[in-house]
Amino acid sequence: MERIEYKGIQIIRYSGIKGAAEPTLVCFHGLFEGADYFEPLSKALKRNTISFSLPGHFLVDQSEGSNIIGLDQFLLSVGSFLLEQLSESFIILGHSLGGVIGSLLPTSCLRERALHFINVEGNLVASDCVLSRAISEQRVEEFTKKLQDREQGVLNASPRRFSAPGIHQLCREIVVRVDSGQVLAAYRAYSIPTTYVVGSKSANPLGLKTLGSTNAKVRHIDNAGHDLIQTHRTVIEQLLRG
């Protein structure tokens, strides 16, 4: 595992089997997860993986308010990294909010080398954008207090991995993109094969109704919830292997 700092963003690179021909995984996690969320999947597949930390989410303990980067700059830095630092073909895998991020990637970094986009329960329309909207509608001071309580209760003594101002800003920007229709339009415009994955235990995203005329396939996973990348890893492996 290699930790990388690149143009204001944090990245984890996992190495697979040397000389293997499988495309690299390019991964984006969801809210309150981290770039290491995909480590079990990467180890199971034994393939090269690039996993990006979303704004407000850290690889290591950092001071509150540090490394806050806007969504536009984050997307530009990701696109730059894929163009400048990754020469091989790749598959994009986004979970929850990471599925939204994957939908918004600059098209310039996808040409010729991006083979498939797997969107695992990423929000496409306003009615599905529940958690990000709830965070964005709070005052940043209120959300900061709630996040501190969450870290104390859930993360216990683990190093602090989140910035309340960073996550609050990210959610506000995501809600604007979803409400304006930009996320759905970008996802519908994908020129490479896309698969939208949803678990049977999750609320059926209303955004699925908009995908009938696109290249997107929809895969329903039985007895799976929102965290299906972890609980139903073999299904994801099958999708990635085609």
Residue 213: what pLDDT? 56
H-helix or E-strand containing 3? strand 2-6
**Token digits of residue 59:** 């690889």
d(CA 196, CA 185): 15
Alpha carbons 174 and 133: distance in angstroms, whole number:
9
Contact 209, 223 (CB under 8 A): no
Residue 38 has what pLDDT?
93
Residue 151 has what pLDDT? 55
Query: Position 150: which residue type?
Result: R
**Predicted pLDDT at 93:** 97
pLDDT in the model for residue 150: 62
Mean pLDDT in consecutive groups of 10 residues from the start of the chain, 242 residues: 89 81 92 90 90 85 60 95 92 95 89 89 89 89 74 48 86 95 90 89 74 75 90 88 74
Domains belonging to the chain, first-starting first, are 2-241 (3.40.50.1820)
Number of H helices, E strands in the chain: 9, 8
Distance CA 150, CA 145 (A): 9
Is residue 7 helix, strand or coil?
Answer: coil
Contacts of 56 (CB under 8 A, 6+ apart): 68, 162, 163, 164, 165, 166, 167, 168, 169, 170
CB 24 within 8 A of CB 42: no
First to last CA, the chain: 26
